[in-house]
């Protein structure tokens, strides 16, 4: 009675065919989930604001949709003249929570003066998780050249005598003086520089070993600059090159900070973690809005 009224049995013919039927298909595997792009943090340069990076933001959204991009809106305009250690503290407080929410890591794109702020952040943050640090036309080995910015700030000074201002306690209160690097007054630079000489490891300080270890946590260092920049002087400073006492440019591998590996450049290069991307025909204010530059030198490293 159960076979007729409770459980409906299949016809006998089907039962005879069961041994010859193909096995049932396994359940379909779920579609592979594409990993999300790492968050991008953008740090502006001297006299800039977040609005300056609207084109860069568009490019990233087009090529890497869904990327969380944060253009930090701190120390804008004239506030960018504040001492760089003060800016490092402010930007550090802003990037820390972004990093904490991104265990897979973040990318830093840092323009001009902002590239020095970011390099200092990489030095002082013990647990940073920066995958790519993209230094966009930044005076990484310092600045020694007359620009409109300098003429506006110090109208009676030329580059040959600006050291008198910059290498004083008063001068070090201006961000530009924090990375003013006069190759003709190296002793004064080493003794007076409260920022660049420290993050370069050119002057002894108790945090040098820890800062070097922190800096070497970075996954990749991408250096971008070019001969038509018009502001960074020498332009090779974007690649850690700089003048000697005769104003002959020595490339990164000839610099003492590299030869001594004082903050980790030589180690990074040895492990293949330094990318140099020179681009001609781009002026200083166009680095973050040039589409070709973005596609060639920035986009490939935003994993």
Residue 46: C-alpha distances to residues 17, 112, 148, 166, 205 (Å):
81, 7, 12, 17, 27
CA gap 152, 159 in Å, rounded: 13
Q: Is 128 a catalytic residue?
A: no
Torsion sign across C-alpha atoms 276, 143, 248, 187: negative
Catalytic-labelled residue, pool 44, 107, 181, 284:
284
**Does residue 112 have an active-site annotation?**
yes
Say whether 229 is catalytic.
yes
Q: Where are the alpha helices (DSSP H) in the chain?
A: 12-17, 54-63, 84-100, 113-124, 148-153, 163-166, 175-178, 186-192, 196-199, 208-215, 256-259, 265-270, 291-293
DSSP 8-state assignment for residue 23: P
Catalytic residue (choose from 52, 112, 123, 135): 112
Q: Reduced to 3 states, what is the DSSP secondary structure of residue 290?
A: coil
**Of the listed 131, 229, 238, 262, which one is catalytic?**
229
Task: Supply the DSSP string of 39-68, one letter for each residue.
Answer: PEEEE--TT--GGGGHHHHHHHHHHSTT--
Catalytic positions? 112, 229, 284
């Amino acid at each position: 009675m159960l076979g007729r009224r409770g459980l409906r049995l299949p016809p006998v013919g089907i039962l005879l065919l069961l041994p010859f039927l193909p096995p049932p298909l396994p359940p379909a595997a779920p579609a592979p989930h594409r990993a999300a792009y790492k968050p991008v943090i953008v740090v502006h340069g001297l006299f800039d604001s977040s609005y300056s990076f609207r084109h860069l933001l568009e490019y990233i959204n087009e090529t890497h949709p869904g990327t969380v991009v944060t253009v930090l809106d701190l120390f804008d305009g004239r506030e960018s003249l504040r001492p760089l250690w003060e800016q490092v503290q402010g930007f550090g407080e802003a990037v820390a929570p972004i990093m904490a929410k991104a265990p897979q890591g973040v990318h830093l794109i840092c323009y001009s003066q902002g590239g020095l702020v970011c390099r200092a952040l990489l030095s002082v943050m013990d647990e940073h998780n920066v995958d790519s640090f993209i230094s966009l036309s930044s005076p990484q080995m310092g600045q020694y050249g007359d620009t409109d910015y300098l003429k506006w700030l110090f109208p009676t000074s030329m580059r040959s005598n600006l050291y008198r201002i910059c290498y004083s306690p008063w001068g070090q209160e201006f961000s530009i003086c924090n990375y003013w690097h006069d190759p003709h007054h190296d002793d004064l630079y080493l003794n007076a520089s409260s920022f660049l000489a420290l993050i370069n490891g050119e002057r002894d300080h108790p945090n040098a070993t820890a800062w070097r270890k922190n800096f070497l946590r970075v996954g990749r260092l991408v250096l971008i600059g070019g001969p038509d920049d018009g502001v960074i002087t020498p332009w090779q400073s974007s690649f850690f090159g700089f003048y000697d006492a005769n104003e002959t440019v020595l490339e990164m591998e000839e610099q003492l900070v590299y030869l001594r590996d004082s903050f980790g450049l030589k180690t990074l290069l040895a492990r293949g973690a330094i990318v140099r991307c020179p681009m001609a025909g781009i002026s200083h204010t166009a680095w973050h809005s040039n589409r070709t530059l973005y596609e060639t030198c920035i986009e490939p490293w935003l994993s």
